Amino acid sequence: MDSIKYILPEKDMPTSWYNIQADLPVPLPPYLHPVTKQVIGPGDLAPLFAMELIKQEVSQERFIDIPEEVQKIYRQFRPSPLYRARRLEQALDTPAHIYYKLEDVSPAGSHKPNSAIPQAYYNMKEGIKRLTTETGAGQWGSSLALACNYFDIELKVYMVKVSYNQKPYRRMMMETWGATCVPSPSPDTNSGRAALAADPNNMGSLGLAISEAVEDAMQRDDTHYTLGSVLNHVLMHQTIIGQECQKQMEMAGEYPDVVIACVGGGSNFGGIALPFVYDKLRKDTKTRVLAVEPSSCPSLTKGLYAYDYGDEAGMAPITKMFTLGSHFMPPPVHAGGLRYHGMSPIISHLHKLGIIEARAVNQLATFEAGITFARTEGIISAPETNHAIRAAIDEAIKCRETGEKKVILFNHSGHGYFDMTAYNTYLLGDLSDYEYPAEKVKEAQSFMPQV
Ligand SMILES: *Cc1c(COP(=O)(O)O)cnc(C)c1O
């Protein structure tokens, strides 16, 4: 029988996360303090993050145990299935074998609970009663609302205003799980008030929402801040995806020639790819690892590799990363989760070292791929996920032309049920492409810290 799904039994779910810092050929550049520009120590981060998460951020241990209570909640939806896209292969008439890991199966509909759950757990363990965070399209906010609900933590989410207005259902999910969600810029913080004073119609950005959430957390002893992507510990929590894939690919009797995921801050990409990068570094496998970003916000392919602020107001740590500048306002593409000016330090570092590849794709081409996927595999994907699907289809078409029987694996980061307005716009023929003007990156330099 030709299998479609590879289901890993609960008892075979990985019990530790993989930390790539143990295997990097060159260590990561350190974080710097946003004011003093000196290397940051754990004490500087303690007002913001749980100590266990700070330890994970800099840990050099290869594997870190997943706490029993986190595993228990993971098992509500994990292991997630690995699919062979046989109907898509047929439609493309490709000799390639295409596999996708379905992360839509979490209650929030994406991979993000993989990190939201441990982040809420460690904060609860350390006596924290309240968390703050930012959210773009609402995926992270809803995932953290789910997690905080399990551990009885109060949550305040600063949601980028343009999405708050466009995507009310994500806000309603957060409220259903018991969180509070306000549009950013909000009148509740100094950064929000300053932005509103300068422009009452400011529609917000992730960088600004981060400033608000950080400022809120700094002001209360019972409150910490959490970030849904970018940071090392977030990518590490997501590696359960790739570790499950390794076992499932073995069940299928194959090994991927190329591993693909979309990148916003880099967490779902890191999640599926880093365990395979381990194989590349330690077992000399030749797998290509491909990060796909939007042409409208192309930090890896057009950004500068520089120390930059993680947020607009310059309160978050300064990070060496590929960046378009902390004041960059990405155009209003529908892939809200890919509209961040920077990139995870780990992904930036691996790209700089030439261990991973990056590619930018334009919005129309991603929706075209999403429609093909919906009409073959049946699944309606998040606009972010459509970036990965686009690249997987392009790789499969190349195989049709060369006759190569490559094994392609991509991460299906989430479903698109709350993005039907975007699909409608595409179907009406009204969707636009946005190309980032490469010369713009020079302007961004003027806002970067002098270090
Ligand atoms: C948030 C999100 C992304 C982008 O975030 P990463 O941290 O880069 O993974 C991609 N896909 C979905 C469905 C998301 O919700």
Q: Is the CB of 139 under 6 A from ligand 1?
A: yes
pLDDT tens digits for range 43-72:
999 999 999 999 999 999 999 999 999 999
Q: Is the CB of 414 under 6 A from ligand 1?
A: yes
Q: How many CB atoms lie within 10 A of CB 253?
A: 7
pLDDT at 114: 98
Taking the CA of residue 139 as reference, the ligand 1 atom at the shortest distance is: 15
Instruction: Find, among 207, 211, 208, 227, the residue nearest to 219 by Cα.
Output: 211
Confidence class for position 315, pLDDT limits 50, 70, 90:
confident
pLDDT at 241: 99
Output the average pLDDT for the chain: 96
Is the entire prediction scored with pTM above 0.85? Answer: yes
Q: Is the CB of 235 under 6 A from ligand 1?
A: no
pLDDT at 448: 93
pLDDT at 336: 82
- Specify whether the CB–CB gap between 296 and 436 falls below 8 A: yes
Alpha-carbon Rg for the chain, nearest whole angstrom, is 20
Q: Is the CB of 389 under 6 A from ligand 1?
A: no
Q: Is the CB of 264 under 6 A from ligand 1?
A: yes
pLDDT tens digits for range 223-270:
999 999 999 999 999 999 999 999 999 999 999 999 999 999 999 999
Return the amino acid letter for 398.
Answer: K
Instruction: Provide the CB-side half-sphere exposure for 156 (13 A, CA).
Output: 22
82 CB-near residues (< 8 Å, 6+ apart): 5, 6, 8, 99, 100, 101, 102, 244, 245, 248, 249, 251, 252
State which of 134, 338, 356, 419 you would mutate to test the pocket of ligand 1, scoring each by most atoms of that ligand within 8 A of its C-beta: 338
pLDDT tens digits for range 377-434:
999 999 999 999 999 999 999 999 999 999 999 999 999 999 999 999 999 999 999 9
The Å distance, Cα 124 to ligand 1 centre, comes to 25
Q: Is the CB of 384 under 6 A from ligand 1?
A: yes
pLDDT tens digits for range 341-363:
999 999 999 999 999 999 999 99
224 CB-near residues (< 8 Å, 6+ apart): 48, 49, 50, 123, 128, 130, 131, 132, 217
Q: Is the CB of 136 under 6 A from ligand 1?
A: no
Could you check whether the bond before residue 294 is cis, i.e. omega within 30 degrees of 0?
no
Taking the CA of residue 267 as reference, the ligand 1 atom at the shortest distance is: 7
Among protein residues, the one with the nearest Cα to ligand 1's atom 14 is 337
pLDDT tens digits for range 3-15:
999 999 999 999 9
Among protein residues, the one with the nearest Cα to ligand 1's atom 13 is 414
Q: Is the CB of 326 under 6 A from ligand 1?
A: no
pLDDT at 207: 85
pLDDT tens digits for range 123-182:
999 999 999 999 998 999 999 999 999 999 999 999 999 889 988 999 999 999 999 999
pLDDT at 316: 86
Residue 332 has pLDDT above 90, yes or no: no
